Structure 1
Amino acid sequence: MMDLHCHVDLYPDHSEILSDIENSGYYVLSVTTVPSAFNGTAHLTKNLSNCRTALGLHPQLAHQRVNELSLFDSLCGVTRYIGEVGLDGSRGYAEHIEIQKLVFEHILSKCCEFDDKILTIHSLNAVDEVLALLRKYPNCGTSILHWLLATKKQVNRAAGLGCYFSVGPAMINSARARKVISWLPKNRVLLETDGPFAKTDGKPALPSDVVLVIEFLSELWGETIDQVQDDLKLTLKNLLSNKNA
């Protein structure tokens, strides 16, 4: 299985998260929030063959770390994975949306210089704006919309742009999020935790906790656990084999 959005470096107990990644054997994407965190995070997981590090600049930090775009550019060729990036239109961050757009557009433009990037994207209260920029930069790579909260029309637009969608345990505790999950194309669904920010039973979610999502999808899709796992493995395989999609 997989966890395609996990903030490994931000867990309070690194030994716990590293042990969970190793013992689960799941394919984990360790996202970063600023370019200056990339090298340290990559070093943290260097002994884990099933963990990859993504290069990110979180929209909530864009107005504070726009000066790190040059560092982003210098590191962009080191990893196939980009994230966490995107836009955030929620209270406290909407006032910085223009600088967020500048940063996100810069990142998408840089990714167009490559043919294999995979991006995990934040779109809270900014779905239309994110989709507009993905449409503007169709060659930026393959996009995964992380923890998407959207209308059915927006979901369909995102699917039309070739987006994937990552779903975590915290989402299945929300009626709104469960409705969104029900609209997602089955062959574009992937798993995430967004740990340590997202919680499971009051504790930071760990990659092994994605089993809760698998159980939920089994009921939603009317499939056995094994069938759901096979579906998800195939979707991950298709994602990783994508080039310039």
Structure 2
Amino acid sequence: MIDFHAHLDLYPDPHATARECIARELYVLSVTTTPSAWAGTAALTEGAPRIRTALGLHPQIAHERIAELPEFERLLPEVCYVGEIGLDGGPEYRRFWPDQQRAFTRILELCELAGGRIMTVHSRRAGSAVLDALEARPGAGTAILHWFSGSQRELARAAGMGCWFSVGPAMLVGAKGRSLAASMPRDRVLTESDGPFAQINGRSAWPWDAGMAVEMLAELWSESAGDVQRQLINNLRALTAKAA
């Protein structure tokens, strides 16, 4: 089972959640929202080869943490994965747009200078702006658009640029999310939970809830759950080979 976007450090008991992920043999990308959170989050899963910790600066708090960009630059050589990064065009964050753009542009520049990274990218209400930024820095690495909610035109553009996508049960419960997932290139899709932020039946999603997305994709793609699971594992192998 694969959860390629979870906030392990933000669960009520991060250590217990990490232990459960290890016990269930999940493949997890544990994302962070600030550079200062990276070391503590990485320590949660020491000795867990199936869990990786990404270095992030979340767009929703970029205006509060933009001073941590030097710390991001210092830590970047230690990581293969970057996230959560990106832009958020929601009305409650539009006034911080210049700070978001400054942070995202600098992060992409740093990733390009470092030879490229695998990046999990937030693009809520900002699909075109995110794609413009990625297109301007093609050497930044491989972008996985997490919980992509843009238009079909933006999806086609992202796919043409070589972007990947991570989808979870909270996304796939809605008609728009299902329509987008049905159009994604199947060899560039991974599952995610986005827990604990994402909600499933009124509760926070757990990393192992990402498995629910396998059944949902099977229905969308008219394939068996076993075939979907094999496709996802092959996708993960192809992606992680880029980080080798």
TM class by smaller structure: over 0.9
Partner residue in 1 for 2:197: 197
Deviation at 1:158, TM superposition (A): 0.3
**Residues 92-138 of structure 1, C-alpha deviation per residue, up to 9 Å, x if partnerless?**
10111111111000000000123351000000010000000000000
CA distance in 1, matches of 2:21, 2:65: 29
Partner residue in 2 for 1:135: 135
The aligned amino acid for 2:144 is I
**Residues 3-41 of structure 1, C-alpha deviation per residue, up to 9 Å, x if partnerless?**
111000000122441132112211101000000000111
**Residues 57-95 of structure 1, C-alpha deviation per residue, up to 9 Å, x if partnerless?**
000111111100000000001110100000001011011
Partner residue in 2 for 1:218: 218
Please list, as runs of the form range in 1=range in 2, the aligned pairs for 1:88-237 lying within 5 A after superposition: 88-237=88-237
- TM-score normalised by the chain length of structure 1: 0.96
Residues 116 and 242, structure 1, Cα contact 8 Å, conserved in 2: no
Residues 2 and 211, structure 2, Cα contact 8 Å, conserved in 1: no
Segment of structure 1 superposing worse, 228-237 or 169-178: 169-178
CA distance in 2, matches of 1:177, 1:209: 17
Residues 10 and 196, structure 1, Cα contact 8 Å, conserved in 2: yes
Residues 20 and 206, structure 1, Cα contact 8 Å, conserved in 2: no
Residues 141 and 243, structure 1, Cα contact 8 Å, conserved in 2: no
Deviation at 1:223, TM superposition (A): 1.1
Deviation at 1:210, TM superposition (A): 1.6
- TM-score normalised by the chain length of structure 2: 0.96
Structure 1 runs not aligned, ≥5 long: none
The aligned amino acid for 1:105 is T
Partner residue in 2 for 1:39: 39
CA distance in 2, matches of 1:121, 1:71: 19
Aligned residues: 244
The aligned amino acid for 2:227 is Q
SS at match of 1:47: coil
CA distance in 1, matches of 2:237, 2:49: 17
2:23 equivalent to 1:23 = yes
SS at match of 1:89: coil
Segment of structure 1 superposing worse, 99-108 or 14-23: 14-23
SS at match of 1:112: helix
Report the RMSD for the aligned CA atoms in angstroms: 1.4
SS at match of 1:76: helix
CA distance in 2, matches of 1:235, 1:22: 21
Residues 20 and 207, structure 1, Cα contact 8 Å, conserved in 2: no
Residues 168 and 210, structure 2, Cα contact 8 Å, conserved in 1: yes
Residues 86 and 123, structure 1, Cα contact 8 Å, conserved in 2: yes
Deviation at 1:182, TM superposition (A): 1.3
SS at match of 2:52: strand
CA distance in 1, matches of 2:231, 2:108: 29
Residues 169 and 210, structure 1, Cα contact 8 Å, conserved in 2: yes
Partner residue in 2 for 1:55: 55
CA distance in 2, matches of 1:202, 1:49: 32
Structure 2 runs not aligned, ≥5 long: none
